[in-house]
């Protein structure tokens, strides 16, 4: 079963920013649900140096036709100069959950 749903990942500087972004996405009906994984350790390269930070990861559940608006909202509200935005195709899953997502995102 192929679906028209996407999972979008982003990270935020802290849980407060993550909650604010998640709430905005749900209120604008751009996401049916956003999970927040707080206090995640990250090690990454930034401006030629290895950096380390505690961040919050967002798992944004949306539909393909909302994806560009999700991107724009993340870029508008995010504090990072270069926010992570990665998209994962949702190929299959619980049909009842997908029906709920369709209902919520209409």
Residues 13-29: pLDDT tens digits? 999 999 999 999 999 99
Q: Which domains does the chain have, with CATH numbers?
A: 5-104 (3.30.70.120)
> Model confidence at 83, in pLDDT bands (50, 70, 90)?
very high
This model's pTM is above 0.75: yes
For strands 49-63 and 5-12, give the pairing.
antiparallel
Helix (H, G, I), strand (E, B) or coil at 44: strand
What distance lies between CA 6 and its chain's CA centroid? 10
> Model confidence at 3, in pLDDT bands (50, 70, 90)?
confident
Sheet holding 5-12, edge to edge: 33-46, 49-63, 5-12, 86-89
Q: Give per-residue pLDDT as tens, 29-57.
A: 999 999 999 999 999 999 999 999 999 99
């Amino acid at each position: 079963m192929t679906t028209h749903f996407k999972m979008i990942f982003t990270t935020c500087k802290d849980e407060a920013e993550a909650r604010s972004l998640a709430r905005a996405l749900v209120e604008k009906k751009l996401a049916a649900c956003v999970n927040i994984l707080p206090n995640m350790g990250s090690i990454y390269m930034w401006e030629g140096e290895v950096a380390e930070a505690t961040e919050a990861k967002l798992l944004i559940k949306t539909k393909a036709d909302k994806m560009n608006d999700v991107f724009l909202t993340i870029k508008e509200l995010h504090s990072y100069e270069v926010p992570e935005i990665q998209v994962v195709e949702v190929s299959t899953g619980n049909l009842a959950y997908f029906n709920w997502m369709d209902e919520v995102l209409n």
